[in-house]
A and B are shown apart, each in its own frame.
Chain A
Amino acid sequence: MLDSSEVARYDRQIRLFGSEGQKKIKEATALVVGAGGLGSSVSAYLAVAGIGRIIVVDGDAVELSNLNRQILHWTEDIGRHKAVSAAETIRGLNPEVEVEAVCAFADEENLADLVSEADVVVDALDSFSARHHLNRAALEAKVPLFHGAVSGFDGQATTIIPGLTPCLRCIFPRSPPKVTSPALGATCGVIGSIQATEVIKWLTGEGELLCGRLLLWDGLQARCDLIPVERNPGCPDCGGEEI
């Protein structure tokens, strides 16, 4: 049940998916893995949309060079844990949202427990080795995974529904070397917003998800392309099988 304050706060989007849709968002827990550029954008939009609970996971501390894109962290946050800084800003954006900060790097050890608490998992990581751990954990828990990645003006996103779509390892079987990519805040905003939109669509049942399609954003050309992606029958993570 939504109270009068919630009805007022979410009035413009209740027009999109009704009170029932809003309640589904309110009842959901989102695990956002990474509190960098993408994590900032996704978390901010999920928070103001009224997601019930956000778990923010990041083991890093805020640095000055983060602030061109990681909009949950401000100058006075330099040196603080990103997860704590992010949680504080999220609470400020929407005090109705329950926020939990996990000051740890996502790894094989902790991801299973974290994912088991979530209805949706957002990939806001910065390496494919970590993403593959997250992919496995989401598959095992049968929780949807909303992938995003950015580099400079370029970005990509896709939505992974265990048992229905190719998994992240089907699409990207290897881990390119981790590099310090050039990064633009606005690109994080584009891709993070797409991820947040996908989460809201999944929760409310609206629209057509980015399932089996990889969205490629080319900011320099202001182009957005979709390429079909298929399961790998020999995938070591999902086996390429429908459930």
Chain B
Amino acid sequence: MIIKLKAFARFRDILGGETELDLPDSSTVFDLLNLVASRSGDLSYQIFDASGKVREDVNVMVNGRHFESLEGSKTPLSAGDEVALFPAVVGG
């Protein structure tokens, strides 16, 4: 199934702005991030912490919903979903 990934800020520099990824049916957010992270060790470090969890300073939105308000990294994806990936911006 085709998932549209939109990467912003430092993730855009590595992944490009908008890409279409072909994932097996019943893939999850974790599967998508794992595929993306496999492209470089640096990217893997930026997405996952030492325990393999998605870092807290990474935002993932699935069709406008933050993945943590869905099922976290186990959130199932469907064909045509749009996933946004961008770093947390905290300061004021």
CA distance A127 to B89 in the complex (A): 9
CB distance from A196 to the nearest CB of B (A): 14
Total interface residues on A, CB under 8 Å, equals 41
Interface size on B, residues (CB 8 A): 23
Interface membership of B66, Cβ < 8 A: yes
A179 and B56 contacting across the interface, CB-CB below 8 Å: no
Among residues of A, the one whose C-beta sits closest to the C-beta of B63 is A230
User: When chains A and B are docked, how far (Å) is the Cα of A27 from the Cα of B89?
Assistant: 33
Contact check, B69 vs A235: say whether CB atoms are below 8 A apart: yes
Contact B56 A177 (CB under 8 A): yes
The listed residue (A34, A172, A183, A216) touching B66 by CB distance below 8 A is A172
B92 and A34 within 8 A (CB):
yes
Task: Choose the segment among A5-13, A35-43, A44-52, A135-143 that binds chain B (4+ C-beta atoms closer than 8 Å).
Answer: A35-43
**A227 touching B89 in the complex, CB below 8 Å, given contacts A173-B66, A173-B69:** no
B84 touches A218 (CB 8 A): no
Residues of A within 8 A of B86 (CB): 216
Determine which of A148, A155, A177, A218 lies in contact with B12 in the assembled complex, contact meaning CB atoms within 8 Å. Answer: A218
Q: Give CA–CA (A181, B90) in the complex, Å.
A: 8
For B61, the chain A residues whose CB sits under 8 A away are 227, 229
CB–CB A38/B92 < 8 A? yes
Cα distance A60–B42 in the bound complex, in angstroms: 36
Q: Which residues of B contact A123 (CB under 8 A)?
A: 92
A149-B91, A220-B13 known; 20 new pairs, CB 8 Å cut-off, are A37-B92, A123-B92, A126-B92, A127-B90, A128-B88, A150-B91, A151-B89, A156-B89, A172-B66, A173-B69, A176-B88, A177-B57, A181-B90, A181-B91, A183-B91, A216-B9, A221-B12, A225-B6, A227-B61, A229-B61
The 30 sampled A-B contact pairs (Cβ below 8 Å) are: A34-B92, A124-B92, A126-B90, A149-B91, A149-B92, A150-B92, A151-B89, A151-B91, A154-B9, A154-B87, A154-B89, A156-B89, A170-B66, A170-B69, A172-B59, A174-B66, A176-B57, A176-B88, A179-B57, A181-B90, A218-B8, A221-B12, A225-B6, A227-B84, A228-B64, A229-B61, A230-B65, A232-B69, A234-B69, A235-B69
